[in-house]
Chains A and B, each alone.
Chain A
């Protein structure tokens, strides 16, 4: 199970890559493995306001549908058109080509509040595996 060191995470299994005031968001390797093959992603459209902890989209797999939760407060600036064409990218490259959307962060902190480090997220999924 891959949990890259440089990313931040949510307890709902999203990852967040922060670059200055922009966050790129996807679902984790653990999440994609639990979901199974992703067949459709409904990402929030650009311009949408995102609130940390609130549902803002859906990831639909062969067997289930899961909400995407906002990892931080902000506004959607871009969605990944490649994933719309080929949702399987979420499975094959969850931290790379399978990213879902980007937001402009409200927070001026370096890291928005409430996000988990790679070590904290690794501990969380280890606990879920029990």
Chain B
């Protein structure tokens, strides 16, 4: 059989903007995305100290509508969706029957019987298919609307001050994990106080045709405050410092939400059955076989995804994400550690096998970075 041609990379509505900014582009989940514009460390630091502007239009957007949309989502997802009030958002997961994580999601309750489910780009098609199948017994319709949304994020301590210049919405009333219709730079958008950086910030779901205008307006409103465009490299180092999981690294079909330390998103006692409930109920009773931990490196060599974690010279876990932390100035990593080895690790310490050499590491609690909340 002839090999299939690789599918052309999808371009976001902001592709021309990235080109004009001279971004280094990368292939991410079938999308051509900005990896960085200049220095990813400078972009990271801008988000920690001022603001960064991201194009996240690769994320998958699914609309779930219908008189039983809430019930369908409650059956399909692990959280209590009925408890999410209109105008609020919920971080949740979709799991397989055995409890393995299919994706982590944000669900926005837009209006009566109307939800926006945001999936990772790499999982969007799978999530769309799963949600469609799970909604079949309900008066609910699942529509993949990814192409209909541009997604911009402004993240960092100056985000609110910058966004306030472009909207009449009272941003102090827009709480963390809330989102509702607003006008930004003259465009009708869904404005949400969500993000993936560990900072205050907003995600702006907009008409693709309006994306470049909003980007330009945010850039002009924010440049004096220190806002710069930021790429996926900075997004990854920011979420790593903030201890936030990444699907494919910390989360996969091989782990349950409990393994990932995210059992809090599972509501076993919500009304009715949901996919994965039986497996997760059993899993909730058992002592965990592994636990997600934070590590800091004592040398400057950087632990990376897949590297073995050693306790007393024997592999007792695996790094899921690692990198140099610009904020801490040292290597950091998230790893799965066998709980049976955790006690010994506390006594003997542990190490990461970095390309054949055992580099000592220190066990720390997650997250590595937590912003000051005034």
Give A contacts to B, CB under 8 Å.
Answer: 33, 36-37, 39-40, 42, 60, 62-63, 65, 88, 91
Contact = CB atoms under 8 A, between A and B. Distances in A.
Interface residues of B, number: 16
B237 interface: yes
Contact of A62 (B24, B300, B324): B324
Contacts of B35: 36
A37 B40 contact: yes
Contact of A36 (B233, B300, B301, B355): B233
A39 B40 contact: no
B36 interface: yes
A40 B24 contact: no
A62 B324 CA distance: 6
Given A37-B39, A39-B324, A91-B39, A62 B233 contact: yes
A47 to B, nearest CB: 20
A37 B40 CA distance: 7
A54 to B, nearest CB: 15
A37 B44 CA distance: 11
A42 B35 CA distance: 25
Contacts of B39: 36-37, 91
Nearest to B42: A37
Contact of B301 (A42, A88, A91): A42
A35 to B, nearest CB: 11
A62 B41 contact: yes
A60 B323 CA distance: 10
Interface in B320-342: 323-324
A40 B41 contact: no
Given A36-B35, A40-B324, 7 more contacts: A36-B24, A36-B36, A39-B324, A40-B300, A60-B302, A62-B233, A63-B233
Contacts of A36: 24, 35-36, 39-40, 233
Contacts of A63: 40, 233, 236, 323
A39 B322 CA distance: 13
Contacts of B158: none
A121 to B, nearest CB: 20
Contacts of A88: 41
Nearest to A84: B300
Nearest to A64: B304
A39, A42, A65: most-surrounded residue (chain B CB, <10 A): A39
6 A-B pairs closest in CB distance: A39-B324, A40-B300, A37-B41, A37-B39, A60-B302, A36-B40
B104 to A, nearest CB: 22
